[in-house]
Amino acid sequence: MLAAWPAVAAVLFARLSPRRAIIWTLLAGYLLLPPVVGIDLPLLPPVDKNSIPALCALIGAMVMRDRLDLAWRRPEGWVMALAVVAILTPAVTMATNPEPLIEGNTFRPGLGLFDALNGTIGTALMLLPFFLGYQVMASTEGVRSWMLSLMIAGLAYSLPMLLEVRLSPQLNVWIYGFFAHDFSQSIRYGGFRPMVFLEHGLWVAIFAVMAVLSAAVALRETPRPARMRQMGILFYLLVVLVLCKSAASIIYAMLLVPIILLTQTRLQVRLAGILAVAVLLYPLAQWTGVFPTEAVKDLAGSIDPERGRSLEFRFNNEEILLERASRKPLAGWGGWGRNLEVDPISGRFTSVSDGYWIVMMTLGGIMGYVATFGLLCGSVIRLWLVARHRPVDRWTAGLSLIMAASLVDLIPNATVTPLTWLSVGALAGLAARGLPSPTDQPQAEPAALRHPPMRTVIG
């Protein structure tokens, strides 16, 4: 399937408009290709369900450049600066980690040129969806197409999700022959939470949040005669989200759906910007002890003792890993498990890096964290700053809230995906172009978007 995806992408580009082909190449690849495996090429990092669709989308965008009818622009200075830092970080990590780590019977090798090359290529592949979003989706119509596609994909994906809620997560085993994670983590509240073809149930839940919030924005934009149908879609997706049994994702939806439905767009973007600033500063708050860890643990424990214990476990590991990160603050420890604490006798890791922020802080240090989260959070913050002086359409405001929820989820989980990068790239590109006025939106929805070719995409 991984090797065949370029052929699938070619069919999509042959049958759909270039922008929609880019969307579905990335989106369908993320949802349908097998997780946690990749094609291991000589001297290169493995290419997987994240990088192969991104490469296919990039090649398609370059081939169809004239049909996209876009003015491809040089990214803003802050985007280029952070991207360069991200690309250079693996080389700095290699230069500061030449020594092997020998602890009792445990040996972890030092880093060399091979690790720097793999890290650099891997970072470039990770950032591809961001720059595709920046160049191709940075318009009101681009954001609108992207969010409607998220909603449609959520509706289609709900069918295998509901099947796994009933039967347990087995589709990846039946189709690809392996289970992608620890089966015990798919059991929650006396039932199962779906995984389908993603690496964990939490990834499915955060995708369901994106679909729910997209449906809420679509409800605001739907003409009155068709609103009952759109309300049904929103309610259905909310039910599916609840069945994912992820407390955090349910909270995101319960808080943000009313905000989308009842508040003005400028307030939505402001809230998204404030949350992005909070996420960006979270490591500093933890490092200095300002973050109210004990109060948060007590609150979570009072709501759900099991979730409270899980949160306490995460906070304890963050404290251990922050102390380890402080020993290599500039560019981190790099790979081979060097960023984790280990039992020197058994060789087992004694710490777990759950949150994406602590993963980046220990792997790439301050350089890696600032570059990665600077692009993720900075895109929402940049949009907020521009929106203070210009009107914002509902689709853009809704996408900023989707990204705010996704960014908050990166504190406890590592749920960053190509969908995240494409979305923040679109927001950064929109901010760079000065936010088109809502009155510049197309007057009628294209027929192809009103009746999307689901059979072609999903099949």
pLDDT tens for residues 199-233? Answer: 999 999 999 999 999 999 999 998 888 899 999 99
Mean pLDDT (whole number) for 440-456: 38
Residues 214 and 150 in one domain: yes
What integer is the mean pLDDT of 415-439?
89
Structure tokens at 266: 């400028």
Q: Name the band, by pLDDT with cuts 50, 70 and 90, for residue 175.
A: very high
pLDDT of residue 450: 40
Assess whether pLDDT exceeds 80 at residue 454: no
Q: Is the pTM of this model over 0.85?
A: yes
Least confident of 15-24, 338-347, 358-367, 438-447: 438-447
Boundary-marking domain end, from 203, 237, 262: 262
CA–CA separation, 112 vs 23, rounded Å? Answer: 37
Q: Stretch 404-415: mean pLDDT, rounded?
A: 94
**Domain ends where: 69, 91, 109?**
69
52 pLDDT more than 80? yes
Whether residue 205 contacts residue 215, with contact meaning beta carbons closer than 8 Å, is answered with no
Q: Do residue 340 and residue 301 come from a single domain?
A: yes
Is the pLDDT at 459 greater than 70? The verdict is no
**77 CB-contact burial (10 Å; exposed 0-12 / middle 13-18 / buried 19+):** exposed
User: Among 5-14, 169-178, 184-193, which is the least confidently predicted range?
Assistant: 184-193
Give residue 405's Cα distance to chain centre: 10
| pLDDT surpassing 90 at residue 184 | no
pLDDT value at residue 269: 97
CA distance 180 to 200: 7
Asked if the model's pLDDT at residue 53 lies above 50, the reply is yes
CA–CA distance, 81 with 87 (Å, rounded to integer): 10
For the stretch 386-399, pLDDT in tens is 999 899 999 999 99
Q: What is the pLDDT of residues 123-145, one digit of tens each?
A: 999 999 999 999 999 999 999 99
Condensed to tens digits (0 to 9), the pLDDT of residues 88-105 reads 999 999 999 999 998 878
The predicted-structure confidence for 330-341, as pLDDT tens digits, reads as follows: 999 998 889 998
Residues 287 and 404 in one domain: yes
Tell me what pLDDT residue 241 has: 97
The model's pLDDT over 282-307, given as tens digits with 9 standing for 90+, comes to 999 998 888 888 888 777 777 777 77
Query: What pLDDT does residue 382 have?
Result: 97
Residues 297 and 376 reside in one and the same domain: yes
By DSSP bridging, strand 106-108 and strand 47-48 are unpaired
| Domain shared by 362 and 409, yes or no | yes
Residue 265 has pLDDT above 80, yes or no: yes
21 and 33 share a domain?
yes
The whole-number pLDDT of residue 69 equals 64
pLDDT > 70 in the chain, percent: 94
| 302 shares its domain with 447 | yes
Cα(386)–Cα(373) distance, integer angstroms: 19
In the chain, how many domains are there? 3
**At 438, is the pLDDT very low, low, confident or very high (cuts 50, 70, 90)?**
low
What is the extent of the structural domain holding 160? 140-262
Distance CA(6)–CA(270), nearest Å, equals 40
Task: Select from 16, 37, 69 the last residue of a domain.
Answer: 69
At residue 437 the predicted structure's pLDDT band, cuts being 50, 70 and 90, is: low
The 3-class secondary structure across the chain, one letter per residue, is CCCCHHHHHHHHHHHCCHHHHHHHHHHHHHHHCCCCCEECCCCCCCEECCHHHHHHHHHHHHHCHHHHCCCCCCCCHHHHHHHHHHHHHHHHHHHCCCCCEEECCEEECCCCHHHHHHHHHHHHHHHHHHHHHHHHCCCHHHHHHHHHHHHHHHHHHHHHHHHHHHHCCCHHHHHHCCCCCCHHHHEECCEECCCCCCCCHHHHHHHHHHHHHHHHHHHHHCCHHHHHHHHHHHHHHHHHHHHCCCHHHHHHHHHHHHHHHHCCHHHHHHHHHHHHHHHHHHHHHHHHCCCCHHHHHHHHHHHCHHHHHHHHHHHHHHHHHHHHHCCCCCCCCCCCCCCCCECCCCCCECCCCCCHHHHHHHHHHHHHHHHHHHHHHHHHHHHHHHHCCCCCCHHHHHHHHHHHHHHHHCCCCCCCCHHHHHHHHHHHHHHHCCCCCHHHCCCCCCHHHHCCCHHHHHC
Mean pLDDT value across residues 63-84: 85
Q: Check whether 159 has a pLDDT greater than 60.
A: yes
**Given pLDDT bands bounded at 50, 70 and 90, which one contains residue 351?**
confident
- What confidence tier does 71 reach under pLDDT thresholds 50, 70, 90? low
Closest CA to 207 of 225, 195, 220: 195
Whether 307 and 166 share a structural domain: no
Q: How far apart are CA 350 and CA 328, in angstroms?
A: 19
| Residue 435: band (very low, low, confident or very high) from pLDDT cuts 50, 70, 90 | confident
Average confidence score pLDDT of the chain: 89
Q: Is the domain of 311 the same as that of 271?
A: yes
- Among 28-37, 181-190, 419-428, which is the least confidently predicted range? 181-190
Same domain, 176 and 300: no
pLDDT value of residue 410: 95
196 plus 315 within the same structural domain: no
Looking at residue 435, its amino acid is L
CA distances from 328 to 79, 88, 319, 333 (A): 25, 16, 15, 6
Q: Which pair of structure tokens corresponds to residue 105?
A: 């019977």
Same domain, 132 and 147: no
Contact (Cβ atoms closer than 8 angstroms) between residue 149 and residue 120: no
Burial of 17 (0-12, 13-18, 19+ CB in 10 A): middle
Closest CA to 362 of 325, 314, 395: 325
Measured in degrees and rounded to the nearest 5, phi and psi for residue 119 equal: -65, -40
pLDDT of the residue at 446: 38
